[in-house]
Structure 1
């Protein structure tokens, strides 16, 4: 664990280990326990929280950005071939996303919320696993893969319905050893993509898009403001499993730090927000959050 002395008072965390190195594991858990014990903590979660559910992250040691380029909003809207590429790859990847279940980290976050330690949960993930764990009020900053929206008429529909339509048009595609990406798609041979048939909006015949924020697309301003409001209302911010590489998440860390609120980051690897944190803890999320829940709720 590394601790930075930014405004936040005594609860900011313990000192570093000897000669400025990482503090012992126990010190990291103690700092997180003190942070949560004060209650009114908003969580910001990232892809690292879902890796234990079998969904990879973008930027970790085995992150998918090391092997593929995600679909951008500009590419998706510019051509039918771009949309065919997305929907073919996503049609295969959706099977794994739909089967994924909340892991110990998601369940512990919900346990901490129910016990009154968390005031809000904001997630950068699009896998819906916080909702599946019972955190129905989690703000999905980048949307959710289980919803589809028409770019022409604005109609919203379920991904399960679209999946049935795509299977009727294309069958259930199976690609052995296909590597799932965090945005729910997989690599496919060009011939499979070229032959794939995409489905239009049932209401108007328009272009369907997953209800997620693609790379190159902006998060809706009202959603961003809502997240700022949740951070403002909280006493502290706890980041779980995010490298904070993109501004959509980093801005909330900066905002909390400017307001003098304690910021703790639990992530296995350096993050872009470390300089703003009162404590950085490189521990595995599932076990760490489960231990914290047990410590805080056991009489």
Structure 2
């Protein structure tokens, strides 16, 4: 069966990029930028943080839109659209086969300095919450407690027809039991949401389970897919956070997805200052008060040395 050859073929392709290869080209850190960002943090103690895929590139997870290294720059493949997943069994099989092969590496990723820096700001009571557009769970792995996953999480699988849900690690065991001939020894072309690119021949024969509770065919990660809507309660929570913050700090997001850009517009409406740390252009470049381009692992350690501990 073709599936038996997946592991062999995976080993023959180009090896994993190093973590730094997912970070776009950038200039050396400027001392003036360090001072500007430090002053922004020191001047506020109710910072609302918004993070995008760019904060996870230094952990080894690519983003979508970074010039030269993002998924859209390196592949013609595009994320699965929600309506396609719901309507087409073939799409669901293709999605889960790619996700199954990518899961061991994706789930093993660890937080980088950016995630740990935000955990420290939380401990220092500088921030009120983190809103993340990512589904990689890295903020939680870093120890942050106040995290709202705007687009959901890849770590839970649930049924769209009933209330069944299962931990993604346990679901991996279910998929493995249905596809014991698939040996995952090496991965390649990891994508932002944790799957990998496979050929139709490699996907052929892959089996996916029914929901054990309702026997439906709509088991899906608890992720807001492209074309789907963010749950209303989550939107209302975001609105409350914007009202209660004194500033917005954005890290690693191009903000081309409107759900993230809306947060900028709402914060700007309340006339609250906004700082943006991201390599490359963003949708909000003309809306923010501070725009800095630098690698998180290079600028944030320097900022960390200058932050004044907040005393309530």
- Structure 2 residue 175 is matched with structure 1 residue 170: no
CA distance in 1, matches of 2:133, 2:105: 19
In the TM superposition, what are the counterparts of 1:38-57 in structure 2 within 5 Å? 38-57=44-63
Residue of structure 2 aligned with 1:35, choices 37, 40, 50? 40
How far has the Cα of 1:297 moved from its partner?
5.1
Q: Which residue of 2 aligns with 1:87?
A: 96
- Structure 2 residue 153 is matched with structure 1 residue 148: no
Tell me the alpha carbon deviations over residues 214-254 of structure 1, each in whole angstroms, 9 at most, x when there is no partner: 01111111101101211111110000000001101000001
- Structure 2 residue 230 is matched with structure 1 residue 225: no
Alignment TM-score, normalising by the size of structure 1: 0.89
Alignment TM-score, normalising by the size of structure 2: 0.85
Of 233-242 and 285-294, deviating more is 285-294
- Structure 2 residue 70 is matched with structure 1 residue 63: yes
Q: Which residue of 2 aligns with 1:7?
A: none
CA distance in 2, matches of 1:114, 1:247: 30
CA distance in 2, matches of 1:177, 1:289: 31
Of 208-217 and 28-37, deviating more is 28-37
CA distance in 1, matches of 2:288, 2:309: 28
SS at match of 1:295: coil
Contact preservation (8 Å) 2:53, 2:133: yes
The number of aligned residues is: 277
> Gapped runs of 5+ residues in structure 2?
1-26
Of 169-178 and 69-78, deviating more is 169-178
Query: What root-mean-square deviation, in Å, do the aligned CA atoms of Structure 1 and Structure 2 show?
Result: 1.7
Tell me the alpha carbon deviations over residues 21-79 of structure 1, each in whole angstroms, 9 at most, x when there is no partner: x9x81221212111111211110000000001100000002111231111110110011
Contact preservation (8 Å) 1:149, 1:208: yes
- Structure 2 residue 223 is matched with structure 1 residue 212: yes
SS at match of 1:274: coil
Tell me the alpha carbon deviations over residues 81-140 of structure 1, each in whole angstroms, 9 at most, x when there is no partner: 010000000001111111100111101110111011111110000000000001132000
Contact preservation (8 Å) 2:246, 2:273: yes
- Structure 2 residue 56 is matched with structure 1 residue 77: no
Q: 1:142 to 1:286 in 2, by over 3 A?
A: same
CA distance in 1, matches of 2:237, 2:210: 32
- Structure 2 residue 273 is matched with structure 1 residue 262: yes
Residue of structure 2 aligned with 1:181, choices 166, 188, 191? 191
CA distance in 1, matches of 2:79, 2:168: 19
Contact preservation (8 Å) 2:187, 2:196: no
CA distance in 2, matches of 1:72, 1:102: 28
- Structure 2 residue 200 is matched with structure 1 residue 195: no
How far has the Cα of 1:176 moved from its partner?
5.1
In the TM superposition, what are the counterparts of 1:244-255 in structure 2 within 5 Å? 244-255=255-266
CA distance in 2, matches of 1:175, 1:159: 19
> Gapped runs of 5+ residues in structure 1?
1-21
